[in-house]
Amino acid sequence: MELKRILARLPYSAPFLFVDSLLAVDEKMAEGTYRFKETEFFYQGHFTDHPVTPGVILTECCAQIGLVAMGIFLLEKGGASLENVQIAMSSSQMDFYLPVYPLETVTVKSDKIYFRFQKLKCEVKMYNSQGKLVCKGTLSGMLKMEINE
């Protein structure tokens, strides 16, 4: 599936879309990038005069790139109709190592652990523009879909 098509099918829009580009998506992995803008809504008040990206937003960025984009790929490959796809995170476990500041670009890399019974589980890692590990963890999501007949 074309990467731009997956990107267009992500069920998010500004200000809650945290994917700028998808670099690769297949049955086993996903990789993409996002640049955090200075004007992001969550920087207001998140450490006065020293904005830092909240961990929950870093987790969401990892989920959008590493879980949802791969889930869309897998669903479409399996013959699903994606007009009414619903994807919900069912569990997350993340460890954080470095802060992410406004204007930083991050790269998320995800490896599939399993996809069965409409549940996708992935190991995700986020790197900053210097290639340093920002956070890593395990994300799971449930996928609800309609099957083409």
User: What CATH number did the domain enclosing 24 receive?
Assistant: 3.10.129.10
**How many separate domains does the chain show?**
1
Neighbours of 87 (CB within 10 A): 21
pLDDT digits (tens, 9 = 90+) for 26-79: 999 999 999 999 999 999 888 888 999 999 999 999 999 999 999 999 988 877
* Burial (CB count <10 Å: 0-12, 13-18, 19+), residue 18: buried
| Active-site amino acid positions | 46
pTM: 0.92
Domain holding 103, by residue range, is 3-147
* Average pLDDT rounded to a whole number, residues 79-103: 85
Cis peptide before 54 (omega within 30 of 0): no
Backbone angles phi, psi at 79, to 5 degrees: 90, 15
Q: Is the separation of the CB atoms in 58 and 66 below 8 Å?
A: no
